């Protein structure tokens, strides 16, 4: 089984599909959690406290990190394999549409942008929240409690350059998901002439919901005086 997952092209695509599905579910959860910060900063902080340095949150963080690492490594392996086998065609598909999606031809580049954005996000939030709790500190480098996520959002998105960077990150994520969500179903054989357009539609809906949810938090905290602490 391990040889199938690591050596065969189908096995690699299956790993990409499983890890991709896991990451999409996490992104939807994380987006839903962040939207809470718009509705009630106090409720958002309560969620942050629940998902602090507790054993279940730490275990989830490790699993998530492994999922991202495996997904990224297999993406590079598959891309290199497809370059050798088919030149510049990066992702083999069983169903062709008129005009190949731009996202499907640039998934690795989009993946790098998403990864860089993730590293920045870890620096801005994880290192000032869960990591601070792990280290046993009561305040982070900004003087906030590690469970005061609303204050951290308020501080981060009071700076216009972070607003721009995060919005660019979300756009890259949108493109990545529009191809990735349907591709993970295609890899396990669900994409045929009937289901292909349906899966593309589902992928676009999921990607748009994720984009709008994350972007709303950034823009509301940047544009609304009461959210950014000016009231």
Residue 205 falls within a domain, yes or no? yes
Report percent pLDDT > 70 for the chain. Answer: 81
- Predicted pLDDT at 8: 66
Residue 197 falls within a domain, yes or no? yes
Residue 166 falls within a domain, yes or no? yes
* CATH code, 27: 1.20.1300
pTM for this one?
0.85
Per-residue pLDDT of 124-134, as tens digits, reads 999 999 999 99
Residue 101 falls within a domain, yes or no? no
Contact residues for 30 (Cβ-Cβ < 8 A; gap 6+): none
Report how far apart, in Å, the C-alpha atoms of 169 and of each of 35, 80, 113, 200 are: 17, 24, 7, 21
> Which domain covers residue 201, as residue numbers?
2-94+113-223
Number of domains, the chain:
1
Averaged pLDDT for residues 78-107: 60
Residue 104 falls within a domain, yes or no? no
As a whole number, the mean pLDDT across the chain is 84
**85 vs 41 pLDDT, higher one:** 41
Averaged pLDDT for residues 32-47: 95
Residue 228 falls within a domain, yes or no? no
Written in H, E and C, the secondary structure of 5-21 is HHHCHHHHHHHHHHHHH
């Amino acid at each position: 089984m391990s040889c199938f997952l690591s050596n065969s092209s189908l096995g690699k695509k299956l790993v990409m599909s499983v890890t991709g599905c896991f990451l999409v579910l996490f992104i939807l959860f994380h987006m839903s959690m962040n939207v809470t910060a718009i509705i009630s900063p106090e409720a958002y902080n309560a969620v942050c406290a629940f998902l602090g340095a507790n054993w279940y949150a730490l275990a989830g963080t490790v699993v998530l990190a492994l999922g991202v690492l495996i997904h990224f490594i297999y993406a590079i392996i598959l891309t290199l394999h497809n370059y050798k086998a088919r030149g510049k065609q990066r992702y083999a598909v069983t169903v062709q549409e008129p005009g190949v999606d731009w996202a499907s031809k640039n998934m690795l580049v989009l993946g790098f942008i998403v990864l860089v954005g993730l590293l920045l996000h870890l620096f801005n939030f994880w290192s000032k929240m869960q990591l601070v709790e792990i280290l046993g500190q009561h305040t982070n480098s900004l003087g906030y409690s590690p469970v005061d996520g609303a204050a951290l959002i308020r501080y981060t998105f009071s700076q216009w350059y972070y607003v721009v960077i995060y919005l660019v990150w979300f756009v890259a994520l949108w493109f990545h998901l529009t191809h990735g969500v349907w591709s993970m179903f295609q890899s396990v054989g669900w994409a045929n002439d009937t289901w292909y357009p349906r899966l593309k539609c589902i992928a676009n809906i999921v990607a748009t919901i994720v984009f709008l949810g994350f972007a709303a938090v950034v823009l509301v905290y940047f544009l609304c005086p009461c959210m950014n602490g000016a009231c």
